[in-house]
Amino acid sequence: IDAIEEDNPQCSQKAIIQARSSQITWLTSIILAEDVLTGQVLRCDAIVDVIHTINVVSTTKELYLEDSPLQLKIQARDSEGNTFSTLAGLPFEWTIVKTSETNEFSDFHNALQILKFSESTYIPPSYILEMEKVAKQGDIVLVSGMKTGSSKLKARIEETVYKHVPGAEVRLFILENIILNPAYDVYLLVGMSMQYKVMKIRQGKMTELIMPSDQYELQVQNSTLSPGGDTTWPVARLDQATCTVTALQRGQANLVLSHKSVSMQGASKLPNGTIFVVDPEYLGFSIHPGERWVLETERFYEITIEVYDKSINKVYLSENIRIDMYFSREYFEVVRSSLNGSYHYVKAIKEGHIVLGAKLTSIVDQDGGVHTFSVPAQNQQEVDIYAPIVLQPNILTFPWQAKAGAYQYRILAYGGSGNFTWTSSQQNVASVTIKGIMTTGNEIGVSVIHARDVQNPLHHGEMKVYVIEPSDMKFTPCPVEAHVGQILDLPLKIIGVMNKETNEVVTLSDCSQFDLVVNIE
């Protein structure tokens, strides 16, 4: 036992214990540590025994191509099944061995690679790095997958005293990052079709895997019919050539992606999904941008019609369904629509209140036959269309005053629903009340005043308030003669620099609170 000295050379809170016994038997030592201040004594029993069995421990037995390496560790037990606390310093030999599934032509060695910690970003215990310096392997190693397949890794103790201890083996599976698209549960109507894609991720990029494949296959399994279903028909049919699933009758089934190779049967299941075949119950409407049915003329919107079943599950909108939706040409200009009628890109062109209606009418099969619904799902949506919001005036300019609140101005808002929220981008330059009354602050700058429609905050109008220092003043052309006793108005224009970079000048909107000294000669 060697104490590790830290700050105090007389005492230590840590110590290194090393087994030095050469006897092949169970031995024990008692280690005591005393606190010199309190006299408290701590005890630890150190047991030295012979390794009886070893096994490989890991968080998983699956690696993904181009993913982080997997750390494997040896766990050793004595004849009673007790686990050894540490195997630090004990040399092991790690090798990749041939599995029963591989043939003599298999390049199983190329599927897996054993890495050195010194060549990775992982930080192992210090003794592992010391062993790697002398070309030794310890009880912890890193492995990385090089190609898909399965590999078996074997570890054995190199010490001759343990040559009778069987080596430990672990079978590892090297997989591709495979994704089934769509990766979620799908709800279909009878007669609908949906094409699945198998995607793989490599070097951070997603690419489509050509199906049918030599490595993977799609299968429809575990069909469960709804009450009253026809047992002679499955819930869904899969076309292997196109990976297209067609719903045949109400119920549910699993779409499973599996390995074709026998050697990969022990790997975790690949992505799978559930297909639910349901009846349509009602239609729903959504709009973007804004997500609210308060629109603005001259704006473009995307309107989508969704189909739901009685449990409020959204049905996948395949190209062979037909949804009828009517847009009044007086209020909307339809730019484009999808073939199935579920998507419309429109432009609002006139103010007013209207009601949109949509109806799920039929499904067109692969042969062109049209199957109508006896009771079509339908719904309506109310829409309000307003003129764009305009603020007047669009620019206000005031002379800077040291005292805040020197000037006030009521900003008028036109268009929209008439109910607005007011905000100012620079409160110290100009603030605004909930009624649109602007008040100047005590700082020079520009503030953007926004009025947003409460019913749809996406719609807003804006104007700018400039608080600037006066740079010049002059009398504007006006009559300069008057009869005795008459009042002569002499308009005075005060000018300020609005943009110092371009030297753009502007006449100040209000100078009523500006202190002027007037001299009459």
pLDDT tens digits for range 276-306:
999 999 999 999 998 999 999 999 999 999 9
The pLDDT assigned to 20 comes to 75
CA dist 280 and 94 (Å) reads 60
In the predicted model, residues of the chain with pLDDT beneath 50 are: 103-106
CA dist 349 and 371 (Å) reads 36
The pLDDT assigned to 384 comes to 96
pLDDT in tens, 67-116: 888 999 999 999 899 999 999 989 999 998 876 655 444 455 567 889 99
Q: Which two tokens stand for residue 86?
A: 């540490």
For residue 212, whether the previous peptide bond is cis, meaning omega lies within 30 degrees of 0, is: yes
- Cβ density class 70-79: b for 16+ within 10 Å, e for less: bbbebebeee
Name the one residue in this structure whose structure tokens are 């709800």.
187
CA dist 4 and 17 (Å) reads 11
280-386, what's its fold? Immunoglobulin-like (2.60.40)
* Segments making up each domain of the chain, as ranges: 2-48, 53-175, 178-278, 280-386, 390-470, 472-507
The pLDDT assigned to 494 comes to 86
CA 357 to chain centre: 34
The pLDDT assigned to 104 comes to 43
CA-nearest of 169, 166, 171 to 101 is 171
Q: Which CATH number fits domain 53-175: 3.30.310.50, 3.30.420.40, 2.60.40.10, 1.10.357.10?
A: 2.60.40.10
390-470, what's its fold? Immunoglobulin-like (2.60.40)
The pLDDT assigned to 103 comes to 47
Query: How far is the first Cα of the chain from the last one, in angstroms, to the nearest whole number?
Result: 107
Name the one residue in this structure whose structure tokens are 């490599």.
202
pTM score of the predicted model: 0.67
Q: Which two tokens stand for residue 422?
A: 């007011």
CA 283 to chain centre: 28
CATH for 178-278? 2.60.40
CA dist 469 and 25 (Å) reads 96
CA dist 100 and 399 (Å) reads 90
Q: What is the CA radius of gyration of the chain?
A: 40
C-beta of residue 443 within 8 angstroms of C-beta of residue 408: no
The pLDDT assigned to 269 comes to 63
- β 300-308/390-392 pair status: unpaired
The pLDDT assigned to 309 comes to 93
